[in-house]
Amino acid sequence: MDSDTLTPCAALRLADCSAFGITDTGRVRRENQDRFLIDPALNLVAVADGMGGHAFGARASAAALERIAARLAAPPAPHASADDPDATVHDASACAMRAAADALDDANATLHAMNLRERLAPHRSMGTTLTGIWQPPGSSQLISLHIGDSRLYRYRDGALTQLSRDQTLYQQALERGVIEHLPPRNVLLQALGPLPSITPVVEAHVWLPGDRYLLCSDGLHGEVPHREIEAVLADVSPRDIDSACRRLIALALDAGGKDNVTAIIACFDGV
């Protein structure tokens, strides 16, 4: 399921988890450029936060999710080993991570071609962040896909951990210790679309029963403190994921709702 409106619906069942998502335009923006995807057939959950103004941002986020899903649905192509070009890599995690990276590259190529057709300069071109988790067929691991500043969190053993790293000028400045004159938080270093090549982050994670994963756009994590997000995730169960998502959206709106806000929660139970 994908959506661009705050429309309640039932949680969807994936291989080892139940997932629910909501997106809202917020209190300031006139249109919602966020999109999300929950695909039970692919065991894929993803959030995309579009940019580009007017209809371009929404177009970019929707197209990126469509291309990612289409690429991951295709049979994987064998990859040769770097040491032996005639050998086939049999490691399932490595193959899945390669497939995820190829899907991101494909989405970027698609959006970049759209920008070239529209003759949009890089600083004005359409683009999107994208953060997702994918459980490949027969795998016990999760593959995370990340580019930009949408986030992936995991709640486990009473603590909320941010698994993704914001690819922003602000985060880069913090890591370099340049804190006297910090840049704006929303200046992206990476996104799908503006440039012909990207440097995404694709990782493998071992999930455990009881894990709760949150995927969200910066309209949530930019407005709601970590401890408040943690408190919501602490109380969620597979039976009330929808209520928890609505609570997160409400917290972002109560904090000002200056941006579009999207949240997906996936509860893993191993059933």
Q: Are 270 and 209 within 8 A, CB to CB? A: yes
d(CA 44, CA 26): 26
C-beta neighbour count of 141 within 10 angstroms? 17
What is the per-residue DSSP string for 198-232?
---EEEEEE--TT-EEEEE-HHHHTTS-HHHHHHH
d(CA 250, CA 243): 10
**Which token pair is 157?**
């053993």
d(CA 63, CA 76): 21
pTM of the predicted model as reported, rounded to 2 decimal places? 0.91
Provide the pLDDT for residue 91. 79
**Which token pair is 198?**
């990207």
Enumerate helices (H) and strands (E) in the chain, giving the number of each: 6, 13
Total count of domains within the chain:
1
Strand ranges in the chain using DSSP code E only, listed in sequence order:
2-3, 12-13, 17-24, 34-39, 44-51, 127-128, 130-134, 141-147, 151-156, 159-162, 201-206, 212-216, 261-268
d(CA 13, CA 205): 20
Provide the pLDDT for residue 87. 46
d(CA 5, CA 261): 10
Provide the CB-side half-sphere exposure for 51 (13 A, CA): 22
Q: What tens-digit pLDDT sequence spans the chain (271 residues)?
A: 554 444 555 799 999 999 999 999 999 999 999 999 999 999 999 999 999 865 699 999 999 999 999 999 987 665 544 455 554 445 788 999 999 999 999 999 999 999 999 888 777 789 999 999 999 988 889 999 999 999 999 999 999 999 999 999 989 998 888 878 888 888 999 999 999 999 999 999 999 999 999 999 999 999 999 999 999 999 999 899 999 999 999 999 999 999 999 999 999 986 5
The residue whose two tokens read 């291309």 is 67
Provide the pLDDT for residue 270. 62
17-24 vs 12-13, strand pairing mode: antiparallel
Domain range spanning residue 159?
2-268
Closest CA to 66 of 151, 134, 152, 2: 2
| Radius of gyration over every alpha carbon of the chain, rounded to an integer in angstroms | 18
Q: Residue 77 sits in a domain of what CATH number?
A: 3.60.40.10
